[in-house]
Amino acid sequence: MGSPGLAVSPWGCASRLPGGIRCQFAVSPYQLAQETPADVDDEYQWKGPFYFIQGADPQVGMMKAWKCGNPKDGDDEWGEEMKLTEQAVQAINKLNPKPKFFVLCGDLIHGMPGSQWRKNQEQDLKNVLKNTDQDVPLVFVCGNHDIGNTPTKETIDGYSKSWGDDYFSFWVGGVFFLVLNSQLFFDSSQCPDLKQAQDVWLDEQLAVAKEQKCKHIIVFQHIPPFLRNPDEEHSYFNLKKPVRQEIMEKLHKAGAISGMKGSESIGNIHNAIIKDFANEMNPENRQLSGTQTGIKAVFTGHYHRNAGGSYKGLEVVVSSAIGCQLGEDTHGLRVVVVTEEKLLHRYYSLNELNSQGIEKELLDLIAKQK
């Protein structure tokens, strides 16, 4: 298979790989990644620059529901989302070299658990995603529409049976990736034990990352901790301030440990971040965004617009949707290049990525791995 270190059958069946790391990596449909312990151990080591694709919110059914003003029951048509997701898959399949994986950061479908059209939406989305190049594994992140605004054990179990675990970790080329269930941060009132379990697991995973001395830690979740400012007010599109502060501080401290060179703290290079969010929110802008070595990034969706900010050097990236747009951005995908020193990323419209591919500046960085 094309991406070692990750072993999971499509639409579920997570496994625990050597080293105590709970891994889930959903590969192209109807295939199972068969990785040996040697393959997995090899992924702990830095091998050179690589890239992956991040998408968010295909949210099958939302466009019709939004247009008709009936977000609860108006999702009985989803042809537009299918065409857009097909366009995204086609764009990814054209890329050369291939991305290490394609991650979808939540709200795969619009229908909430128990809703009328949910199963049909899921099946149609899977039918499109199965056309993704077999060398480009798929990683799924749960969103509020996937497990409910107030999730329960039953709704999370239902998601897991269809798409895989709601939180997990994996390694690629010396980089440690964490997939989190952000709905447990948003409202765990009906499943507090599951929230506690994820918290304990996250602490364990950060300890693993510290022991392995990873190059970077990168987090995927659906709901952004914040949209632009760590001190902004709570809304539907971000996490409550106390929860946000707790998770961001935990990730920041982990970054300070993994990013140290001798006695150097990650905070000393905080000002070296080369990001301009005003430009980033324009998908046609050519400027690239980046963070320095050891500073992790949290890639999210949910907002259906591009946004982002930073907390003590920890970057929060909010990517707009493959599906329904709620602002001025275009339907698109984010290309993320991982180098030894930093992360570089740019949001592309689906039309641009299909017609022009990745720009030379990024391709040159990726080519250094050869």
pLDDT for 291 equals 52
- Highest mean pLDDT: which range of 132-141, 213-222, 286-295: 132-141
Residue 60 binned pLDDT confidence (cut-offs 50, 70, 90): very high
Give the end-to-end CA distance of the chain in Å, rounded to a whole number.
19
Under 8 Å between Cβ of 91 and 98: no
pLDDT for 253 equals 83
pLDDT for 264 equals 20
pLDDT at 281 exceeding the cut of 60: no
pLDDT for 90 equals 98
pLDDT at 261 exceeding the cut of 90: no
Residue 262 binned pLDDT confidence (cut-offs 50, 70, 90): very low
Query: What domains, with CATH codes, occur in the chain?
Result: 15-367 (3.60.21.10)
Under 8 Å between Cβ of 123 and 168: no
Residue 66 binned pLDDT confidence (cut-offs 50, 70, 90): confident
Which helix (H) or strand (E) covers residue 298, if one does?
strand 297-300
Please compute the mean of the pLDDT values over residues 172-177 and round it to a whole number: 91
Token pair, residue 168, equals: 């997990």
Residue 290 binned pLDDT confidence (cut-offs 50, 70, 90): low
**Model pTM?**
0.83
CB within 8 A of 103, min separation 6: which ones? 52, 53, 54, 55, 138, 139, 140, 141, 179, 220, 299
pLDDT at 276 exceeding the cut of 70: no
SS (H, E, C) 139-163: EEECCHHHHCCCCCHHHHHHHHHHH
Mean pLDDT across the chain, nearest whole number?
81
pLDDT in tens, 23-48: 344 333 322 233 445 555 678 888 89
pLDDT for 133 equals 96
Please compute the mean of the pLDDT values over residues 261-267 and round it to a whole number: 22
- In the three-class reduction of DSSP (H, G, I as helix; E, B as strand; rest coil), residue 183 is classed as helix
pLDDT at 7 exceeding the cut of 50: no
Please compute the mean of the pLDDT values over residues 344-357 and round it to a whole number: 96
Please compute the mean of the pLDDT values over residues 81-98 and round it to a whole number: 97
Which helix (H) or strand (E) covers residue 184, if one does?
helix 183-186
Token pair, residue 212, equals: 């392995």
